[in-house]
Amino acid sequence: MLADFAAVAQKLGRGEAGENAADAIITELRRAG
């Protein structure tokens, strides 16, 4: 079960959701411009 949990964790990213979301928003704003 623990190895399965590690695989699940890997699928969820590496703790950079805020940074990735910020990059996506900046890109979206530039795209709009």
Partner 1 sequence: MVDNPAGRAEARPSTSIESTERTEMHSSIGIDSKRRGDIVYFVAGERSGDNHGAALLKALRARAPTMQFLGRGGPRMRAIANGKFRDWIDETAVVGLWEVIRRYPFFRKQFQATISEIDAARPSAVVLIDYPGFNLRLAHALRGKFSELKIIYYISPQVWAWNRRRVLQMARSIDLMLCIFPFEPELYEESGLRAIFVGHPMTSVIPRENATPARSEGSGDETLKKTSPHPSSSLRSARDDNLIGLFPGSREREVKKIFPIMREAAAELGHENPDLGFAVSAASEPLAELIRADLYGKHATGKFFIVRGEARSLMAKVNVGMVASGTATLEAALSQLPFVLIYRVAWLTYVAARLVVKIKYLGMPNVLADREIVPEFIQHKAN
Token pair of 5 as six digits: 């949990």
Kindly write out the interface string for residues 3-32 of this chain, putting x where it contacts partner 1 by CB under 8 A and - elsewhere. xxxxxxxxxxxxxxxxxxxxxxxx-xxxxx
Q: How far is the CB of 27 from partner 1 (least distance, A)?
A: 9
| Amino acid in position 14 | R
Q: Contacts with partner 1: how many residues (CB under 8 A)? A: 32
Beta carbon of residue 14, minimum distance to partner 1 (angstroms, whole number): 7
Inter-residue contact 13 to 20 (CB < 8 Å): yes
Query: Which residue type sits at 22?
Result: A
Under the rule (CB under 8 A), what is the footprint of partner 1?
1-26, 28-33
